[in-house]
Amino acid sequence: MSKEQVEVYDFQEFKINIKKHDPKLNPFKQVQLLGTFTAKNGVTKTVEGFCDSQDGSLYRLRFMPDQVGKYNFEVTLLQNGKTQKTAGTFEAIASSRKGVLRLDKDHPWHFKFDNGDHYFWNSTTAYWMLGLKNEAEILASIDRLAGYGINRIRVAINGRAHGGERWNEPTVVESNNFTFKLNPWLAENQDDLDAPNFDVTRFEVGHWQKLDRLLAHCRERGIIVSIIFYVDGLDHACDPFKKANMGKEDEQMYYAYAAARYSAYENIMWDIANEYHLFRTPEWADQMGSFLKSKDPYNHLISVHGRADFPFRKSPWVDVVMYQSWDECGGYDFMMNAKRLQEETGRILPAINEEYGYEGHYPPWGCGATAAKEGPDGRSGLNRSQLAWEICVTGSNKPPVKRPNTVQVLVKIPVGMDQWPGQSQNDHAEVLQNTERCF
């Protein structure tokens, strides 16, 4: 146990060192670490631990307390048919942490934290942040975004691309400082774009530890991280399971490992796949969304990133209805219709247009008058800000006026890796801050 006392919404961590580990065992698949934690009011949570070394010599288990007071715990290690247990107590003390982001039960179009604070959704995309090899650059990027008022970023665990030309950004390339090849599993050939030969039963621990440090820094800067399991899984070797093995044991282990490792962070939410429709089925999304929700003892928000339709409006595992509708086609009218469709289900959930186009970024996809126009009449900072404003306004028709800070918005600073080349940021950054202050 790392601490006798831990702040509420921080996590208590247990480290288990295995002195004599069996090299024949797969430590990620054939060893189980479980913890049960009981609060003073009698509520008990069971959480899973995870292997944090390639050779199986180190395991960790993390638990996030959500109330002040004493907790009783029992931690159990199961391996080689043997059971080892330890038990004890620790104290959770009051803190200024906000806790997990939830749906606002009183105003279900919107969000608030466990501590009651409301949340103005001000998000950006940074899929390949883990591709930065110098972690000081990752931390500096996070600090820069926090300075703009960004409070949510989208980060991928897994993705593979040849270069930025995939998104019509040819100047973003592989280099000594950056890679498009993310390796969440052990691979025979990590640098091979199409044939890394992943062993999907063993995780590349260093990669996951890097995301740990990213999450921890975001937590201190007040940024929620939407953890994405696949970025464009149709590309190259991003998807080692393919449709033949989708949703089966090994892919489930991938999702379960992420839940065991990261659920104790207060500042996360889950995105089961980016562009799921390009390489998976709606049935798979329902299966894996339900599975991941069952593995998260803290019930962080969960959704899936797709396109201009969202077929999961009634799915019990979904907490946020997330769209991708670019340019004018994703503005005021689109969002009002999205909210109407959700209301017709009888279950109100927040509706977010998670991607509506980036300033100065002109891939061949898009919709509306500015989609293919480069320059001041196209995807300029002003044009993107106007769209953001339209989206903001659609969120203001439900909550009471006295609580305007419950309005939702998605405003993009193109950060890729963390920044699209050539972006002029100053005016857009000011718009982000002014939008947040207004709403």
| CATH for the 5-93 domain, from 1.10.600.10, 2.60.40.10, 3.40.50.1980, 3.40.50.2000 | 2.60.40.10
CB 366 within 8 A of CB 372: yes
Nearest one of 335, 307, 348, 345 to 396, comparing CA atoms: 335
What is the tens place of the pLDDT at every residue in 237-282? 999 999 999 999 999 999 999 999 999 999 999 999 999 999 999 9
Closest by CA position to 97, among listed 111, 110, 114: 114
Quote the pLDDT of residue 361. 80
What is the value of pTM for the model shown? 0.92
Give the tens place of pLDDT for each residue, 273-316: 999 999 999 999 999 999 999 999 999 999 999 899 999 999 99
- C-alpha closest to that of 174 among 238, 116, 237, 128: 128
Q: What is the DSSP string of 119-159?
A: ----EEE-TTGGGBS-HHHHHHHHHHHHHTT--EEEEES--
Residue 167's pLDDT band, with cuts at 50, 70 and 90, is confident
Where do the structural domains in the chain lie, given as residue ranges? 5-93, 101-438
CATH of domain 101-438: 3.20.20.80
